[in-house]
Amino acid sequence: MLELRKATDRGVANFGWLDSRHTFSFGHYHDPKQVGFSDLLVINDDRVEPGMGFGTHPHRDMEIFSYVLEGALEHKDSMGTGSVIRPGEVQMMSAGTGIAHSEFNPSATERVHFLQIWIMPDRQRVAPRYQQTQFAEAEKRGRLRLIISPDAADGSLGVYQDARVYAGLFDGAERAEFVLAANRHAYVHVARGSVRINGMAMTEGDGARIREAGTLSFDGGQDAEVLLFDLRPRELPGR
């Protein structure tokens, strides 16, 4: 079963320097029907104006990753990490016992568009860690490339949870299939463009809760970039 969550139904936060869309309840946006899915707690679709960003702020006991779609995102944290994340790169931060970080658009002329995603960890008070790597476009073209997994398989980034995240690019005749195990849930988020999943049309910002679906077929893409979350069979985040 695929349960569609339209982009236009998401929460909205616009502060001038930040234009954000919230798939799930976050900040001042609260919808009791949208408080996450399985271990997936947050998908924020953020656009940050040039020279602006999020000042230093703390996190703990959360798995947080950023997926940049356009522009560049500068990261600094209390572990001494300093990096710039660009399209094709994925950043994963395990907050563990506590970490403070900032995220900033270093460009003087271009906005940065990125997704920030939170996954509930399966353990608490681990030592904080930071990971970042690039996944070439060719690895995602017409297929679903594993980018996050609990065992860092196939060059993916490690996450402290029984969750796997895949990224795919689909255009024209490109198609792929994903077999969802009988005891698993999934969530799909269309980061840009449009695509069909099991014949259901989805466009930029749309998402879908997926249960007992068997095989998922991705086709009919038009400049589509998709994230697929393979998750434990539970409805709401929580330890």
Give the domain CATH number at 19.
Answer: 2.60.120.10
In a domain, 134, yes or no: yes
Predicted TM-score of the model (pTM): 0.97
In a domain, 239, yes or no: no
In a domain, 238, yes or no: no
In a domain, 107, yes or no: yes
**pLDDT at 1 exceeding the cut of 90:** no
In a domain, 164, yes or no: yes
In a domain, 215, yes or no: yes
In a domain, 170, yes or no: yes
Counted domains in the chain: 1
**pLDDT at 239 exceeding the cut of 80:** no
Query: What mean pLDDT is predicted for residues 148-171?
Result: 98
Q: For the segment 199-224, what is each residue's pLDDT rounded down to a tens digit?
A: 999 999 999 999 988 999 999 999 99
Q: Quick one: pLDDT at residue 45?
A: 98
> Which residues touch 1 (CB under 8 Å, ≥6 apart)?
210, 211, 212, 213
Range of the domain at 134: 2-231
Q: Which residue has the tokens 């320097």?
A: 17
**pLDDT at 61 exceeding the cut of 80:** yes
Q: What average pLDDT is seen over the chain? A: 96
Q: Minimal CA–CA distance to 167: which of 53, 66, 85?
A: 66
In a domain, 63, yes or no: yes
Residue 223 has which token pair?
């400049």
